[in-house]
Amino acid sequence: MPNKPDQGQAQSNKDPRPEGERIAKFLARAGVESRRGVERMIESGRIKVNGKTVTTPAFFIKGTETIAVDGKAVEAAEETRLWRYHKPTGLVTTHSDEKGRDTVFAALPKDMPRVISVGRLDLNSEGLLLLTNDGAVARKLEHPKTGWTRTYKVRAYGRTDQKRLDRLAKGVMLDGRKTAPIIATLLPGTGNNIWLEISLTEGRNREIRRVLETIDLQVNRLIRTSFGPFELGSLGKGMMAEIGARQLQRSLKAKPGKR
């Protein structure tokens, strides 16, 4: 009967685990992009380590390497920071735009560190946009499982009543999938346009505009006023304000849905 290998022999026969961490995780923490965004960058050949192009996301680094994105060196991750930014209309929430449109990130102060957004606001939307230097935090805060409520003030052309708006709380079918509950309140006003306050916990592409189209309302102004515990408040258009470290840590530890 053959001898059974001892535990040490068994472990020595296994492939050793790579040292360090995946490059996508490292660059996400450094505020370059989300992990998925970094993986897309790798596919496009935009990332180099020690002068060589990275061709697979299964690439591990120790943190001592020279890493460049689009030819620019990437510094090691700093302490997590978060900012409130009042996005005006006319800017796209991306670092570069194939159509040559103005971007949120090009409009930021020149002394800002490299940041990414927590979710997005489309070209014609305005209001509160959270920016962070930590891609892992961005992913956590924008994920529906976090349970944070996004609240918007919306102007739309058309007529409706509160009873019809209340039906949105049951969800609406978009692209073959029902949305999460949408809480819509009709605000006082007169004229051809109405104002609504709308709250939801997910951020599907143009969700509010598309949902209101199902009840014959055409959105012509959309302002995000809060995202989880963070408020737009009196922050002026194009202005930004950093969220204190203590408030940030408290918010990251908050239970889902807490405002």
- Catalytic residue list: 122
Please name the residue that has the structure tokens 């960058």: 41
Q: At what angle do helices 35-43 and 135-142 cross, to 10 degrees?
A: 120
**Rounded Cα distance, 189 and 65, in Å:** 60
CA distance to 11, 24, 47, 64, 238, per residue, from 50 (Å): 32, 16, 10, 10, 37
Ranges of H-type helices in the chain: 7-12, 23-29, 35-43, 104-107, 135-142, 162-166, 207-213, 245-253
CA distance to 108, 196, 224, 245, per residue, from 189 (Å): 35, 10, 19, 40
Which pair of tokens denotes residue 109? 């102060």
Question: Is the dihedral angle over the CA atoms 231, 233, 235, 238 positive or is it negative?
Answer: positive
